[in-house]
Structure 1
Amino acid sequence: NFFFPFPEIVCDPLLDYNIWSSLKPINASGKVDPEERLILAVTRVDSHSFFWNVAPGAEAAVGSFVSLLAAAQALQVAPGAQGLPKNVLFIFFQGETFDYIGSSRLVFDMEQEKFPLRLENIGAFLELGQVSLRNNSVLWMHTDPISRRNESVDSQVQHLLAVLRASSSSGISLQEPEHSQPLPPSSFQRFLRSRNIPGVVLSDHQVEFQNRYYQSIYDTAENIGMSYPEGLSPEERLEFVTDTAKALTEVGTLLARALFTLAGGTGSTESIQADNKTVTRLLYGFLLNSNNSWFQSVIKPDQKGILGPFPQHYVAVSSPTNTTQLLQAVLANLTGSRLNLSREQCQDPGKTPGMQPELFEYRWVQGARAGNSSARLPGCVRSGARLSPALSPAFELRRWDSREFSTWTESRWKDIRARIFLVASRELELLTLSLGVLVLLLSLLCTFLINAKASLLFGIPAPPSPSGY
């Protein structure tokens, strides 16, 4: 613009990163074979409320992604998991609150071949919706009635439902709503817009949400029934297994067993079990206080600033957010392995033969404290936990009027400043007024006297008197 060569920016797009990891390593810079079929297990990470940056999201998001983290850990250590015929991909979507930013971008990247997978590589899709407020231990298996009109897709969905029923334990009752009922709000919908995929969305509601505080500041730990005995220290609360943790452990176990079978596993899955200690630590860390001993041990030394009380899960405009960084660190800890490498080797694995940096991420973490000492035992963790962009394709395509992709932004605002003045006492006000009047009177008196004696004071000659003739 000629008149405004440097226009002022008034808003920024909402953006962050999706977190993904696979059971067996995937070349992040390559492409999966077109004939290969993977099982996707996904959920959302972010939440929202009426108040800026106050988004606890206990039922809306945290319960779900904690269950998926527990399932990823359980499947990773399951006997024979690395030899399964099919791979499993775990994805944690960011920005789903705002018209599915994360899933929209991932589908776009798959279509544009900017991601290792294509849509054709998806063999089955399992999504965890809101699962923390189960009524009578019931989980509902939602499917898409439109895509199931295709006989091939319907038969695969029926197989998915059968596997889930066979994987359930006595603590979970699986039910299916009417076949004509549409899907609840879910990331799966964004994939179905591009391709018919067999999939199931697990949730704790049949029709209406169980969550009375959806997208509210009150969707806190108390909303999902987390409670602790009185008198526990922060470390004791971190380790105390609540009833909520036990319930979500059952969800993680169900998902891990189902994924094992869907990936081609045979035989009994009774030995596959999510860890309730892990679940209770995750709930405490992501809902109450992320600045705890376990989270401190899994982050990098330069990430200390992301820890703190009352974690929030708003997607924001600066990335990666604290939640994203923490979740990647925790996922790497739960699914990765610790290697005997120096800090230099860990931070630059390409220089060490056999490290395969195209298949793995390497993280130098702080480690746990050495006994009662303040010193830590740092180390190198190798995992497949990676990030992919969660920015709406509309901004990359510069299509601000897009009806296909969301264009959510956050306004910029300048710092609000104010000057505060103290109100004087009544006595001081009267004193100030009196002194002002006195100074005024003295000024008038001095001006009159100086004017009257000007000729004497300044040597000004007196005006001549009139002459007489």
Structure 2
Amino acid sequence: MVYDMEKGKFPIRLENIDSFVELKQVALRNSLELWMHTDPMSQKNESVQNQVEHLLTTLQKSGTGVPAVVLRRLNQSQPLPPSSLQRFLRARNISGVVLADHPTVFHNRYYQSIYDTAENINVSYPEWQSPEEDLNFVTDTAKALADVATVLGRALYQLAGGTKFSDNIQADPQTVTRLLYGFLVRANNSWFQSFLRQDLRSILGDGPLQHYIAVSSPTNTTYIVQCALANLTGEVTDLTREQCQDPSKVPNENKDLYEYTWVQGPMNSNQTDRLPRCVRSTARLARALSPAFELGQWGSTEYSTWTESRWKDISARIFLIASKELEFVTLTVGFGVLVFSLIITYCINAKADVLFIAPREPGAVSF
């Protein structure tokens, strides 16, 4: 993104960024504390330091109305943890803060790995509930994340120029718990189905979504994130299906500015059919391609590069070893069969003259 901003390939330039707020690990807060990490190097500039101070003060002020979140400052000399903010700071000094649930050491050791699952962030549901009840069951983790989102939303409102601060800015725990359930537990649920296009129904499975990122094509998770953002930030229009698929023919509709999606919609009151609708939003997809691929600099240490695994069918041979008891029984039975067959053979051979009578030779035939 920074590369695209520098080359003018992104709608926003680096000069347009006033402040940078980044969320890292926030799901495993051991207490009420949420730590605000800043960069000590960029704050050597007095102007940046003043902007960072204003940013921290605004965040702390926003947190006073949320008792479940206490924002803490760290020693100004402590380095910035691994974050996207570092890449922006390499291009330009920006006032920024990284919010995390830890001061120095990660609480979630599996963060952004294949083991970053629902169980490892303490998301659980009563065993007797149905999948639909689990979808709407507000977990403690969802409540904690909603509190963090509330603080962040109020702070961003003020930083964006809002003058009349309102306690009405409140994140919905119901929405948070649905997102957690859909992405980490069961993708095939009624909420995800309601905001997907009909042709994308097949990507929903009964388990969590696959978070492996392909090099050249979007994954199912990417499509669902786009649809979720469109559902949460867009608006429902009264366009028909034909108009939604080609809004350029409709007056006062701007296809270049908005994305129009014909979604399945929620179930009707009888729970028999869905109520499809057209959603207008600004949620779009853009290629997340490293500049190293565009520039052909495969050995670049400036831009990230990666390789995609070569997928092959895995096969294995399993050799089972019998128990000692089974081996003994098999040996005993085999030895018994051998002895029995030898005795039978001896007896038959001894009585061969009786059991097997040689045929008489035919006598002379007279005519």
Q: What TM-score, normalized by structure 2, do the two folds share?
A: 0.82
* Equivalent-residue separation in structure 2 for 1:417 and 1:225 (angstroms): 35
Q: Determine helix, strand or coil for the equivalent of 1:136.
A: coil
- From 34, 38, 49, the equivalent of 1:154 is 49
Matches within 5 A, 1:37-436: 106-168=1-63, 169-308=66-205, 309-415=207-313
Q: CA deviation at 1:177?
A: 1.2
> What is the CA distance between 1:417 and its match in structure 2?
7.0
Q: Which runs of 5+ in 1 are unaligned?
A: 1-105, 421-469
Deviation at 1:329, TM superposition (A): 0.5
Cα deviation 1:71-105 (Å, max 9, x = unaligned) = xxxxxxxxxxxxxxxxxxxxxxxxxxxxxxxxxxx
Tell me by how many angstroms 1:283 deviates. 0.7
Three-state SS of the structure 1 residue aligned to 2:145 is helix
**1:215 positional shift:** 4.8
SS in structure 2 of the partner of residue 289 of structure 1: coil
Following the alignment from structure 2 to structure 1, what is the Cα–Cα distance between the partners of residues 184 and 5?
A: 33
Equivalent residue of 1:250, what SS? helix
Q: Percent identity?
A: 64
> What secondary structure is seen at the aligned counterpart in 2 of 1:125?
strand
CA spacing shift, 1:300–1:173, aligned 2, 3 Å = same
1:15 matched residue in structure 2: none
Q: RMSD of aligned C-alpha atoms?
A: 1.7
Letter in 1 for 2:251: P
User: Deviation digits for residues 132-184 of structure 1, max 9, x if unmatched?
Assistant: 00121111100111111111111011000000000011110111111011111
1:201-240 Cα distance to aligned partner (Å, 9 max, x none) = 0000111101133355432212111122221000000011
Paired residues, what number? 315
Higher Cα radius of gyration? 2
> Of the two structures, which has the highest relative contact order with CA contacts closer than 8 Å and spacing of 6 or more?
1
Question: Following the alignment from structure 1 to structure 2, what is the Cα–Cα distance between the partners of residues 266 and 216?
Answer: 41
Structure number having the greater strand percentage:
1
One-letter amino acid matched to 2:131: P
Deviation (angstroms), 1:334 = 0.6
Q: Distance in 2 between matches of 1:255 and 1:419?
A: 54
Distance change in 2, residues 1:297/1:402 (3 Å): same
How far does the alpha carbon of each residue in 1:44-67 deviate from its partner, in whole angstroms, 9 at most, with x for none? xxxxxxxxxxxxxxxxxxxxxxxx
Tell me, what secondary structure is at the counterpart of 1:410?
coil
Shift of residue 316 of structure 1? Answer: 2.3
1:44 corresponds in structure 2 to none
Q: Output the CA distance in 2 between the equivalents of 1:214 and 1:124.
A: 25
Larger mean CA deviation between 246-255 and 305-314 belongs to: 305-314
Unpaired segments ≥5 residues, structure 2: 319-367
Superposed displacement of residue 318, structure 1? 4.7
Give the alignment's TM-score, normalised by structure 1. 0.65
